Structure 1
Amino acid sequence: MELRPRLVSGEVTVRPGRPEEVAPLREILGEPSVARWWGEPAPAAELAVDLAGEGGAVLLVVEVAGEVAGGIQYDEEQDPQYRHAGIDIFLGGRVQGRGVGTTAVRLLARFLCGPREHHRLTIDPAAANGRAIRCYEKVGFRPVGILRRYERGPDGTFHDGLLMDLLREDLRPDPATT
């Protein structure tokens, strides 16, 4: 079964990345609006492994109108009793606030709930990241609870996270196709 799909909706494409896209992805991860939530960019070698699909998570490129705009990744729990997938996404400042994140998350969620046959997806934004939370809610994710002192931020202190999940039947349709 395909692990690294090519998914398209309008001008947004989610697709496997290429080695030469490690540098642009690291640049995006280093932008203040991204680094605020993600911290320092991963080393190029680590990002290259994830981009090649050889790490624990599958990292895909988010492309807008033919240009690298960010990355979206998923990981899968394969234990049949707990089988589900988790998603993470980062987008460069030039495409933030334009619906690109909602489209990319919806595309990946449809893939994970469809061909990958997951019944539940999770995502865990920083509790203070209202923009990300609204994006995920538009796709159908619902808050589960606060993860207290969940992650260490770039400032060195721990910050709360929000655990959200989506059941297959909660996945909202793409307004562009309805």
Structure 2
Amino acid sequence: MELRGDRVVLRPVADGDAEVLGRIVREPEVAAWWSPPEDFRGKLAVVFAGEVIGAIQFAEETDPEFRRAGIDVFLTARYHGQGLGTDAVRTLARWLVQERGHHRLTIDPAAANTAAIRSYRKVGFRPVGTMRAYWRNHRTGLWQDGLLMDLLAEELT
């Protein structure tokens, strides 16, 4: 599987990607929102100009009565603020809607992660509500709020 966005390519994480993704997820700007995963299997590498710059993942609910998918993404700080995360999320969202048949997508950034929230709004995600004490910050051990955002298929930009 390879998904082409306007500027990025999404492809399954390969064996050689783990080292670079491990470095990225430990960057202070990324580690503020992501705890390092045990491994990167099942995720898609975000590739820009031939370079792995991050990863994106999705989880699907396949029960026909609740069919939906959730998305999560991280990029190296060097490429923050350049629209590449927005392109990656939009590319995966289109695939989840058009190819996998999901009518609703969710994303749940930390409520304080204003840059991510701004990016997700550009794709069409809308805030649904604040999830109080939603995730534990692996650096501080404190519970943090999350923002639940969703996107219906017909709202995808």
Please tell me whether residue 38 in structure 1 is matched to residue 22 in structure 2.
Answer: no
**Which residue number in structure 2 is paired with residue 18 of structure 1?**
14
Counterpart CA distance in 2 for 1:30 and 1:149 is 23
Counterpart CA distance in 2 for 1:15 and 1:65 is 13
**Which residue number in structure 2 is paired with residue 160 of structure 1?**
145
1:111 corresponds to which letter in structure 2?
A: W
Q: Which of these residues, 133, 136, 158, is aligned with residue 117 of structure 2?
A: 133
Runs of 4+ residues over 2 Å off in structure 1: none
Counterpart CA distance in 2 for 1:75 and 1:137 is 20
Please tell me whether residue 99 in structure 1 is matched to residue 79 in structure 2.
Answer: no
**Which residue number in structure 2 is paired with residue 111 of structure 1?**
95
Counterpart CA distance in 2 for 1:138 and 1:100 is 12
Query: How many equivalent residue pairs?
Result: 156
Counterpart CA distance in 2 for 1:134 and 1:103 is 13
Contact 2:7–2:87 under 8 Å retained in 1: no
SS at match of 1:37: coil
Q: How far does residue 6 in structure 1 lie from its aligned partner after superposition?
A: 1.0
The CA deviation string for residues 84-114 of structure 1, in whole angstroms up to 9 with x for no partner, is 0000000001111000000000000000000
Counterpart CA distance in 2 for 1:9 and 1:103 is 6
Q: How far does residue 11 in structure 1 lie from its aligned partner after superposition?
A: 3.2
Identical-pair percentage: 54
Counterpart CA distance in 2 for 1:15 and 1:149 is 33
TM-score, normalised on structure 1?
A: 0.85
Counterpart CA distance in 1 for 2:120 and 2:155 is 12
Counterpart CA distance in 2 for 1:106 and 1:75 is 16
Please tell me whether residue 7 in structure 1 is matched to residue 18 in structure 2.
Answer: no
Gaps of 5+ in 1: 54-58, 173-178
Q: How far does residue 42 in structure 1 lie from its aligned partner after superposition?
A: 2.0
1:125 corresponds to which letter in structure 2?
A: P
**Which residue number in structure 2 is paired with residue 69 of structure 1?**
53
Alignment RMSD = 0.9
